[in-house]
Amino acid sequence: MKKFSRKRYGKIFLTYFVLFVALFGMIDYYADMVYNFLYFIIIAILIAAPTAWVHVKKGKKDHIDEVANEIF
C-alpha cells in the first residue's frame, strides 16, 4: 500500500475545488443568479473532496497534478 500524501491531496483538492466553483459559477451566471452561490460552494466541496481522495489513492500522476503543482 502506498503512503497517502496530505500535501498532494491538498493541492489536488484545491485544484478540483476551483474547477468546480468556476463551472458552477458559469451555471449560476447563465441561470440569471437565481440560486444562492453558497450552495454551489458547498456542492463543490462535497464533490472535490472524494474526487481528490480517489485521485491520490490511485497513485498515478496525471495532468491535474501538473496543474496543481503550477498553481499551488
3-state secondary structure the chain: CCCCCHHHHHHHHHHHHHHHHHHHHHHHHHCCCCCCHHHHHHHHHHHHHHHHHHHHHHCCCCHHHHHHHHHC
**What tens digit of pLDDT does each residue of 23-66 get?**
998 988 888 877 888 999 999 999 999 999 999 998 888 899 99
| 53: CB partners within 8 A, 6+ apart | 9
Range of the domain at 26: 6-71
Kindly state whether residue 1 falls inside one of the protein's structural domains: no
Kindly state whether residue 14 falls inside one of the protein's structural domains: yes
For residue 68, count other CB atoms closer than 10 A to its CB: 21
Kindly state whether residue 37 falls inside one of the protein's structural domains: yes
* Over residues 10-29, mean pLDDT: 93
Kindly state whether residue 61 falls inside one of the protein's structural domains: yes
Higher-confidence residue of 30 and 22: namely 22
> Which of the four pLDDT bands, split at 50, 70 and 90, describes residue 2?
low
Q: Is the pLDDT of residue 3 over 80?
A: no
